[in-house]
A and B are shown apart, each in its own frame.
Chain A
Amino acid sequence: DADVTQTPRNRITKTGKRIMLECSQTKGHDRMYWYRQDPGLGLRLIYYSFDVKDINKGEISDGYSVSRQAQAKFSLSLESAIPNQTALYFCATSDRTSGRDNNEQFFGPGTRLTVL
Chain B
Amino acid sequence: AQSVTQLGSHVSVSEGALVLLRCNYSSSVPPYLFWYVQYPNQGLQLLLKYTSAATLVKGINGFEAEFKKSETSFHLTKPSAHMSDAAEYFCAVSRMDSSYKLIFGSGTRLLVRP
Which residue numbers of A lie inside 8 Å of B, CB to CB? 4, 31, 33, 40-45, 48, 50, 56, 58, 90, 92, 94, 100-105, 107-110
Contacts and interface: CB of A to CB of B under 8 A. Distances in A.
Interface in B85-100: 90, 94-96, 99-100
B100 to A, nearest CB: 5
Contacts, number: 61
Interface residues of B, number: 26
B100 A31 contact: yes
Given A100-B100, A104-B49, A90 B94 contact: no
B51 A102 contact: yes
A11 B87 CA distance: 24
Contacts of A42: 6, 90, 104-107
Contact of B101 (A58, A101, A110): A58
25 contacts: A40-B106, A42-B90, A42-B105, A43-B44, A43-B90, A43-B104, A44-B104, A45-B101, A45-B102, A48-B99, A56-B99, A90-B43, A100-B32, A100-B94, A100-B96, A101-B32, A101-B94, A103-B102, A104-B34, A104-B46, A104-B49, A107-B36, A109-B42, A109-B43, A110-B41
